[in-house]
Amino acid sequence: MPTLPAPSGSPATDFAVVLLAELQASGVRDVVLSPGSRSQALALAAAEFERAGRLRLHVRLDERSAGFLALGLAIESGQPTAVVTTSGTAVANLHPAVLEAHHSGVPLILLTADRPDEMRGIGSNQTTHQPRLFGEALRLLRDVQAPSDSGVDAQYVHELAREAVSAALGRSGSPDRPAAPGPVQLNVAFREPLSAPATTLPTEAAPAPGAGTPTTAALPGRTADLRVDEVPGTVVVAGHAAGPRAEEAARLLGAPLVAEVSSGARFGPHLVPSYRQLLDDPAFGGAVRRVVVFGHPTLTREIPALLKRADVEVVVVRGGVPEAYDPSRSATVVDDVRIEGDPGGRQHRGWVGSWVHTGRALLSDDDAAPDLEAEQSEFLRSEVDVIRQPVTRRHLVEALWRLTWPHDRLILGASRLIREADVAVTGKKIAVHANRGLAGIDGTIATATGIALASQAGGTSGGPALDWADGARGISRVLVGDLTLLHDAGSLLFGEGEARPRLQIVVGNDGGGTIFDGLEVAQTAPVDAMTRVQLTPQPVSFEHLARAYGWDYVRASTRGELEQALAGPTGTVIEVPLAR
């Protein structure tokens, strides 16, 4: 336990310093904050911890951006990120990020400043019912009374920090609420004086057991025993954040692997490209009798339709999220599977091989975006002619996929382009992220920034280093639609003194939310009404937007320009015009 610093004259400052010291000792490495009066003790203390090299501090003007930045940092590091806000609407602006963290199983610790009891319920400025804001999305809520002049109860703060980190990491649960990582709120009341001059920081305590090490909680529950079926008929589905366990299970079961692009399992010999067509084909999808689901499938209608079939047994591996993906409401939900049997027989090899080979053939036969060699052969043109071709959605996602390596990060926004990538790209063991807990477009730029910062901060194995290592490997690229970028334009802002990661923002601009073109209503609604209330095209100059926030800008209209831009410097917004 850290030793207490000398009293500063402000109980708020004394408490804030000890709380941050205890959170640091429990494994917290990053603090994100937005400025405010009621939270000033936490903010100024965080600045002192940064100056001492004990925490990394990130400052954002907007709390919604701050929340998603913290989300990205926690996704990449595996450790809880602390978010500091002042009271009132500032806290409410965290709600979208809190919901995404809840549904995705991402650890956050919300340090929300509040008024003391005597100022609540009397109409005080910037005062609302903060402990009620996030409802069931929290793993833990503690409404902390305002510190008093009697001094900091070090044991209480020690236990409070340990409890918060444990709950955020999903290490505590109950039979009626299984453990899963997610958001925690410490709603801390402060009385005036709200801060005092900086005090000497507590001595650095020995890390708590497991602190600083990215971890997935050992979730309570049961393990299902699965035998390799005598007559092949099993398919493994890897939804978002399924991880490599899904690929391993497919090999052990002798089963085809249907893996979404952000699953973390889109690789290996059992991977099936073009799986949508096969799931719709009676000769393939119709022969499925068992599905083992990892992660959270979100990108197709074919997968939930398969899971709802009465003749299909469904086993769902819940993983580190609070809600299992079970559209039929009849699946067997477990926390892991134990696989027995030998999948090496001729029948199983034929079952997997037919799916894999047919899927590969469908992908290579798709002429929506032929590759350079095919075009050169067909048109007998030089490579110069080919690179002058306009960029299609498929070429855009394929170019990004090709240029991403294991030390890089690829972040996909919730737009039409993530679905294009899921259709078009082949297998590759790389890190792909997306906010698919609720699949909203909120905070994509901020999340990508957090992922980039954490991945480039000296690595995450054993806890990220506290310096910004110049030699940290890799770059990050985020692919978004035009509306997704505009929805989070404020997150383009980096204030003075803020670390800037190696990040490229690639925006596919097709003039609005063309993802809605795929809705049935698009065939019947009046075109003008559909355009105004669904597509919502915006006449924004992305060049002026980028430069206003201090980013370089490139417009890539052709394939050659795109390749050149992606190989160019980071800190760049790359606009790619796309046809409707």
Q: pTM value?
A: 0.92
Domain 223-365 sits in which CATH superfamily? TPP-binding domain (3.40.50.1220)
Burial of 289 (0-12, 13-18, 19+ CB in 10 A): middle
φ/ψ of residue 496, rounded to 5? -60, 135
Residue range 37-52, pLDDT digits in tens: 999 999 999 999 999 9
pLDDT category, 464, cuts 50, 70, 90? very low
Pairing of strands 336-340, 140-144: unpaired
Contact 82, 217 (CB under 8 A): no
User: Are 11-189 and 372-577 in the same CATH fold?
Assistant: yes
pLDDT of residue 460: 39
Mean pLDDT, range 70-98, rounded to an integer: 96
525 neighbors 533 (Cβ within 8 angstroms): no
Interval 293-297 mean pLDDT: 96
Domain regions of the chain by residue span? 11-189, 223-365, 372-577
Q: Are 267 and 273 in contact (CB under 8 A)?
A: no
Q: What is the mean pLDDT of residues 141-169?
A: 93
Q: How far apart are CA 234 and CA 351, in angstroms?
A: 9
Distances (CA, A) of 8 to 38, 53, 114, 576: 17, 21, 21, 55
If you average pLDDT over residues 465-473, what whole number do you get? 49
Residue 532 predicted with pLDDT over 90: no
Check residue 528 and give its pLDDT: 87
CA gap 97, 345 in Å, rounded: 47
- The pair of structure tokens assigned to 318 is 């819940």
Q: Supply the pLDDT for residue 364.
A: 81
Closest CA to 507 of 553, 567, 443, 451: 553
Tell me which of 3.40.50.970, 3.50.90.10, 3.40.50.2300, 3.90.180.10 is the CATH number of domain 372-577.
3.40.50.970
Which of the two residues, 34 and 517, has the higher pLDDT score? 34
Q: pLDDT tens, 190-218?
A: 998 888 876 678 888 767 766 766 554 44
Q: Which residues lie below 8 Å from residue 567, measured CB to CB, with a gap of 6+?
A: 403
Examine the pLDDT at 151 and tell me if it is beyond 90: no
Give the CATH number of domain 11-189; options: 3.40.47.10, 3.40.50.170, 3.40.50.970, 3.65.10.10. Answer: 3.40.50.970
| Mean pLDDT value of segment 562-576 | 97
